[in-house]
Structure 1
Amino acid sequence: MNRLPTYIASLLLVFVLGAYLCTFQVRSSEVAILKSAGRPVGDAITEPGLQFRWPWPIQSVVKYDNRKRVLEDRTEETSTRDGKNVILTTYTVWRIVDPRKFHEKHPVEEQGVKALRSEVQTVKNAEFGQRDYSELVSLRPTAIGGDADTATADSLRAIEAAVLARLKARTADSGVEILAFGIKRLGLPQGVTNSIFDSMKAAQERKANTYTKEGEALAQKITSEAEAARQRILSAVSLRVSKIENEGQQKVSSYYKEFEEHPELRIFLDNLAAMKRAFATRTTLIFDTTGLPFSVFLPQGRDAILQGQGVPDLAMPRDARGTAVGEGDDARTVERSGDRNEAESGDAASPEDATKPG
C-alpha cells in the first residue's frame, strides 16, 4: 500500500512524457509539416492548436513562420542601359504559403532566404539594365511635385511593378508568395553626382543668361519709351512756355507804352524796386543820399519828383547855374541854397564895374 503513490506518480510521469512526445502545438503565426523517415507526409498543418504525431524518431515536426517578412537587400551599384551607375537599396515583402514545397526545395530555412535574396538581385539588375538613366533621375531642376518629379516617380513605380511581376513568376513553385517590391533608396556615385551637378549648373547658367538678356532688352525698351515720353513732355512744355512768354511780351509791351507816356513813373518804380531788393534782408546799409536812387530822401529829390522832374542825381557836377554838366538846356536841376546865393551875388554889378569901359 505504501508503493501506491509511487506507482501513481510514475504513471503520471509516463503519461506526461508520452503526451510531450506524441503532441505538438501550432501557433496562429505558424504552419507545420510532419516528416516521416526524413520526408514530408500529408498536407501542411495551418490550423493553430494541439496536434498529434508519432514520437521521434518515427515522425518529426518542422515549423515555419507564415507572417509577412521584409527582406531588405544590401546597398549596391547597378548599371542602367546607357551605361550609368546608380546606388540602390530595395526591399521585398514575402511569406511562406506552402511549407511543404518550400521544405522540399530548401530543407533549411536560411537556404530558402538566401535563394530568395539571389532571385531578387538577379531580377532587379535585369530590370534596371533595361532602363535609361533619365527614367530614374530627373536632370531638370523643378519644384517639389513638378512635372519632372512626377514623371520620375511614375517610372520608378513602373520598375517596381515589373520586378514584382517577374519575382512572382520565378518563385511560384518555391512555396513562397512575393507580396511587394520597392525601392528604399536611390543614390548616385560621387563621379556621377559631380557630372549631374555640372550639367545642372550649366543649365541654370544658360537660363540665367537668357533672363539677363530679356531683362536688359526690357530695360532698354522701358528707357526708350521713357525718353520718348520725356521728349514729348519737353516739347509740350516748350510750346507752353513760348506761348506764355509771348503773352508776357504782349503785356509788357502794353506796360512799356504806359511808361513811355509817364517816364517819371517808371523811374520811380525802378527806384522803389531797387530799394526793396536792398532792404530784403536784415542788413544795415550806409549810402550816399546824393546818388540814385537814395536822393529821394533829400528835400531836393522829393521836390524834383513832385515837380515831375524825376529823381535827380545830386552827386553829378553842376555848372554855375545849377545845371547838370553835359545835360544842356533840357537837364533837370535842383536849386541849392548855396548856389542860389552865388547866383544872386554874381548877377549884381558893382559900381566900379559899371564905370569901367566895356
Structure 2
Amino acid sequence: ENAVVSTPGLKFKWPYPIQSVTKYDTQVRVLQTQSQTQQTADDAQIIVEAFAAWRVSDPLAFFQRFSNAGGRAEDHFAQAEDILRTSLRSALGETSKYRLDELFNADLSENKLGELEGRIHDLLTHGGNKGDQQQGGLSEYGIEVALVGINRVLLPEDTTKEVIKRMGANRDRLAQELESQGAARATAIRAKAEADARKIRAFAERRAAEIRAKGEAEASVYLKQQSSNPELAVFLQNVEMMRKAMAKRFTLVLSASDFGMGLFSPSALEGLAPGEFPTKLPDDADLFKGRASRGSMIRDAVEGTP
C-alpha cells in the first residue's frame, strides 16, 4: 500500500522488506542549464542560459515515476533533474518564435522576454506538441515548476555588430523624432510670437489713431477760434513768444522790426481806444525811418561831444 504522510508526529511501520519509507524534501530547488545557441525569428544567433525553480508537489506521483532510479530519494531527485533539464532545453526552442528586437527592447511595453519565459513555463508544466507527438507536462510527475527565467544572454560577434547597427539606427530615428518635435515646437512659438506682435502693433496703431484724432479734435476748437478772430490770434502768439523769451532774467536788445517786437513801436499804440488790440503794426519804411532818425541822433550826439 502506498501512502503519503505529510503531517509531523510518531508513525508506525513494519520493518523492511514489509514496509519502506522514502522521504522527499518539498523545498524549492533551482536547476541551471548550460549555455546553448538559439536562433530567433529574424535569424539572429544568441547564446542563452536559463534556470527553473521546482519542487515536489505530489510525493506519490513523484515516487511512482522515479522510484525505478534507485531506493534513495537522492536518486529520484537526480533523475527528475535530468528530465527537467531536457525539457527546459527543449522548451527554449520557443525563442525561434520571437525577433531579437522583441526579446531585448528598452521599451518595456514592447519587450516580450517575459512572454517567452511564460511560454516556457507552460510547456514545462502542461507539456505540448513536439513534432507529431504530444508530450506530457512535469505536473503529471508530481513536480511543480514555480519559476522559469532566462538569466544570461550572449551575442556572437556577428550578432553583436548587427545589434549595434540596429541600436544606432534606432537612436538616429529617435534623434530625428526629437528634432522634428523641436522644429514643430519652435514653429509654434514663432507663430505665437508673430501673432502677439501683430496684436500689439494693431493695438498701438489703433491707440495712436485715437490719440491723434483726439488731438486733432481739440486743436480744431482752437483753430476755429483763431479763424474767427485772426488779429487776436496773432496778438496772443506774440505775447506767448515774449513770455517764453523772458521767462528767465536776462538783458535782450531787439529791434522793433523783429517779429513780435512791433508791439513796442510807438506807432503801434497810436489811436487805440480802450479795450482795442493793436492791429496795424508799422511797416518796414516807418521802421527804417525810425532807425535812421535814431542813428542821426546818435551821430549828432557823438559829433557834439567835446
Tell me the TM-score normalised to structure 2 length.
0.62
Distance change in 2, residues 1:100/1:75 (3 Å): closer
Partner of 1:116: 83
Partner of 1:269: 240
Residue segments in structure 1 that go unaligned for 5+ positions in a row: 1-41, 280-284, 294-300, 310-323, 347-358
Partner of 1:69: 28
Distance change in 2, residues 1:247/1:237 (3 Å): same
Shift of 1:240: 2.8
Per-residue Cα deviation, 1:139-172 (whole angstroms, up to 9, x for no partner): 6x36xxxx546x7655653443244322882546
- SS class of match (2:97): coil
Distance in 2 between the 1:172 and 1:240 partners? 92
Distance in 1 between the 2:289 and 2:223 partners? 28
Distance change in 2, residues 1:253/1:109 (3 Å): same
Shift of 1:275: 4.2
Q: Contact 1:81–1:129 (CA<8 Å) still a contact in 2?
A: yes
What does 1:189-228 correspond to in 2, within 5 Å? 189=155, 191=160, 194-195=164-165, 197-228=167-198
Candidates 84, 89, 104, aligned match of 2:68 = 104
Partner of 1:351: none
Partner of 2:276: none
Shift of 1:229: 2.7
Q: Contact 2:121–2:147 (CA<8 Å) still a contact in 1?
A: yes
Distance in 2 between the 1:306 and 1:152 partners? 116
Q: Which amino acid aligns with 1:70?
A: R
Candidates 304, 313, 333, aligned match of 2:264 = 304
Q: Which has the larger radius of gyration?
A: 1
Shift of 1:99: 2.1
What does 1:145-164 correspond to in 2, within 5 Å? 147-148=109-110, 153=114, 156-164=117-125
Partner of 1:260: 231
Distance in 2 between the 1:89 and 1:275 partners? 107
Per-residue Cα deviation, 1:152-194 (whole angstroms, up to 9, x for no partner): 6556534432443228825467x44234332264656492764
Identity of aligned residues (%): 8
Partner of 1:328: 285
What does 1:220-259 correspond to in 2, within 5 Å? 220-237=190-207, 239-254=209-224, 256-257=226-227, 258=229
Shift of 1:67: 0.7
Distance in 2 between the 1:200 and 1:188 partners? 21
Q: Contact 2:94–2:119 (CA<8 Å) still a contact in 1?
A: no
Q: Contact 1:80–1:133 (CA<8 Å) still a contact in 2?
A: yes
Distance change in 2, residues 1:195/1:71 (3 Å): farther
- The answer as to 2:126 corresponding to 1:165 is yes
- The answer as to 2:149 corresponding to 1:183 is yes
Distance in 2 between the 1:308 and 1:232 partners? 54
What does 1:335-354 correspond to in 2, within 5 Å? none
Per-residue Cα deviation, 1:223-279 (whole angstroms, up to 9, x for no partner): 442354345335424533542453254245246445633534322211222444xx5
Q: Contact 2:117–2:150 (CA<8 Å) still a contact in 1?
A: no
- SS class of match (1:183): strand
Q: Contact 2:39–2:95 (CA<8 Å) still a contact in 1?
A: yes
Q: Which amino acid aligns with 2:286?
A: D
Partner of 1:129: 96
Distance in 2 between the 1:65 and 1:158 partners? 28
- The answer as to 2:60 corresponding to 1:90 is no
- SS class of match (1:65): coil
Distance in 2 between the 1:75 and 1:274 partners? 110
Partner of 2:39: 79
Q: Which amino acid aligns with 1:263?
A: V
Q: Which amino acid aligns with 1:136?
A: L
Tell me the TM-score normalised to structure 1 length.
0.54
Distance in 2 between the 1:330 and 1:292 partners? 9
Partner of 1:12: none
Candidates 252, 256, 277, aligned match of 1:289 = 252
Residue segments in structure 2 that go unaligned for 5+ positions in a row: 129-134, 270-281
Q: Which amino acid aligns with 2:22?
A: K
Higher relative contact order (CA 8 A, sep 6+): 2
Two-structure CA RMSD over aligned residues (Å): 4.7
Distance in 1 between the 2:224 and 2:288 partners? 28
